[in-house]
Amino acid sequence: MTVLFFVCICLIVYVYAGYPLLVTLLAKLRKPSQFVTPDTWPEVTLLIAAYNEEAVIANKLENSLALDYPAKRLHILVAADGSSDQTADIVRRFEPRGVALSYEPARRGKMAAINRAFPNTRGGVVVFSDANNMYDAGAIKALIRPFSDPTVGATTGAKRILKGDGALGESEGLYWKYESFIKKQETRLGCCTAVAGEIIALRRAAFVTPPDYVINDDFYMGMRLTRQGYRVVYVPEAHSFEPVSLSAEDEVGRRARIVAGRYQAIALAHQLLPFKRPLIVWQIVSHKFLRPLVPLAMIGALLSNLWLLLFPVSGQSVLWQQVAFILQILFYAAAAIGSRLPKTHPLAKILYLPTFLVQSNGAALIGLYRFLTGRQSVLWQRAPRQLQQSK
């Protein structure tokens, strides 16, 4: 049990602190890549996935039409398959301004809609976006610039959570800042292993159509490119803005889906991992494949710690076991209190980190259950978020 306890603790520490530290140290040995601005901006398609997005699709299209990119070289295509509200009708109103619609009534999931719309894309690069994500004016140019390097197969931008009045916005924002830091180090080391599906650009000729059953389509697309020898580059200057989730419960559902997709990716590792590039394999395993195991490690650490207290090993002091157990109980108590406080309560912001970690790892357990039981549908149901104005 002592060995199990330390293995669990080491896994948690490695995932959240050890790997970021190691990748940062290794990245410092490399010079950051310098990308040249093209003399002529290439032809690009912005492919927007939209399912029942009547509340935000008009804002998204206005935002897209206002982007700082040559209008004649930016094509906007909306994949709205299965939408049963006014989404398709709203998109049609923008057709005189150059917006195209890909729509059929049947709903088969986000990936099926993208795969059906993709042959209608034009240009050398396709930018994938979601309807509720607004881009900074210079986002497309920032995403396209690294493609001047022929080794770059994909770029991904920075996801920014627009803070609400409460702590959930704070915790989501902190998480994405943490992820942004890791992506910067991975990119400097050579290849980013995490992409934000809301703001990802792919070299069109290298696109590998993901199967319709894939849950995390963005991760699948990025990793398939690494198998072809391409790099994935994180571009922090390319900003995507998304409002905070309306409730913690909605965010738990979203994260459960992501983690179910992560377990699916582990099962598909033989299709995804670039085994001829061991450094990237280490990055993927450390950043993406070990993280879904953290909730199991948290349970293992707590139960093994309790076992060692109830059945102490002869001749060993139980002091460290008592301290470790108290710290764990305090951590979970803080999370429990934080989850029950109103978002506007002063303590909610103080307790947001343990609350966020426990809720996200709790969602991971739900995701594991859904994956093991086959209950995670590929049909896409976005977590409801606060409405926003176009930027």
Pairing of strands 199-203, 125-130: antiparallel
Q: Which of 94, 56, 52, 53 is nearest to 76 (CA)?
A: 94
CA distance 242 to 235: 17
CA distance 180 to 195: 10
87: tokens are 């989404």
In a domain, residue 372? The reply is no
Using the predicted structure, report yes or no on whether residue 159 has a pLDDT greater than 80. yes
6 Cβ partners below 8 Å, 6+ apart? none
CA distance 75 to 64: 10
Using the predicted structure, report yes or no on whether residue 264 has a pLDDT greater than 90. no
User: Residue 153 is inside which H or E element, if any?
Assistant: strand 152-162
Q: Give the structural domain span for 102.
A: 44-245
Q: What is the pLDDT of residue 138?
A: 95
pLDDT tens for 92-104 read: 999 999 999 988 8
Sign of the CA dihedral running 212, 218, 220, 225: positive
217 Cβ partners below 8 Å, 6+ apart? 110, 111, 114, 197, 210
pLDDT tens for 241-257 read: 887 655 556 667 777 88
Using the predicted structure, report yes or no on whether residue 116 has a pLDDT greater than 90. no
Percent of the chain with pLDDT over 70: 90
> In 122-214, which residue ranges form alpha helices assigned H by DSSP?
139-144, 167-189
Q: What is the pLDDT of residue 390?
A: 40
In a domain, residue 152? The reply is yes
Phi-psi region of 65 (alpha: psi -120 to 50; beta: other; left: phi over 0): alpha
Using the predicted structure, report yes or no on whether residue 237 has a pLDDT greater than 60. yes
250 Cβ partners below 8 Å, 6+ apart? 383, 384, 385
In a domain, residue 335? The reply is no
CA distance 100 to 183: 33
From the centroid of its chain, how far is CA 89? 30
Using the predicted structure, report yes or no on whether residue 267 has a pLDDT greater than 70. yes
In a domain, residue 202? The reply is yes
pLDDT tens for 288-338 read: 999 999 999 999 999 999 999 988 877 677 888 899 999 999 999 998 998
In a domain, residue 122? The reply is yes
The pLDDT confidence band at residue 347, using thresholds 50, 70 and 90, is confident
Neighbour-count burial of 85, counting CB atoms closer than 10 A to its CB (0-12 exposed, 13-18 middle, 19+ buried): middle
Across 189-198, 346-355, 382-391, least confident range:
382-391
pLDDT tens for 54-84 read: 899 999 999 999 999 999 999 999 998 878 8
249 Cβ partners below 8 Å, 6+ apart? none
Using alpha carbons, list the distances in angstroms from residue 142 to 49, 139, 157. 21, 5, 8
Arithmetic mean of pLDDT, 108-122: 86
The pLDDT confidence band at residue 42, using thresholds 50, 70 and 90, is very high
In a domain, residue 22? The reply is no
Pairing of strands 231-243, 134-135: antiparallel
Q: What are 245's strand-pairing partners?
A: 385
Mean pLDDT of the chain: 86
256: tokens are 């459960």
CA distance 375 to 390: 35
In a domain, residue 234? The reply is yes
Across 54-58, 104-108, 143-147, least confident range:
104-108
The pLDDT confidence band at residue 229, using thresholds 50, 70 and 90, is very high
Q: What is the pLDDT of residue 144?
A: 96
Q: What is the pLDDT of residue 391?
A: 42
Phi-psi region of 367 (alpha: psi -120 to 50; beta: other; left: phi over 0): alpha
CA distance 283 to 273: 10
Using the predicted structure, report yes or no on whether residue 10 has a pLDDT greater than 90. yes
Using the predicted structure, report yes or no on whether residue 386 has a pLDDT greater than 60. no
Q: What is the pLDDT of residue 377?
A: 52
236: tokens are 């922090």
Q: What is the pLDDT of residue 381?
A: 53
CB 79 within 8 A of CB 119: no
In a domain, residue 368? The reply is no
From the centroid of its chain, how far is CA 299? 24
> In the chain, which residue ranges form alpha helices assigned H by DSSP?
2-13, 19-27, 57-65, 87-92, 110-117, 139-144, 167-189, 217-227, 248-267, 269-272, 278-284, 294-310, 319-340, 346-350, 352-373
Q: What is the pLDDT of residue 283?
A: 95
**Domains in the chain, number:** 1
Arithmetic mean of pLDDT, 362-379: 76
The values of phi and psi at residue 82, to 5°, are 85, -10
CATH of the domain at 168: 3.90.550.10
Q: What is the pLDDT of residue 173?
A: 62
Q: What is the pLDDT of residue 250?
A: 63
Indicate the pTM of the whole model: 0.84
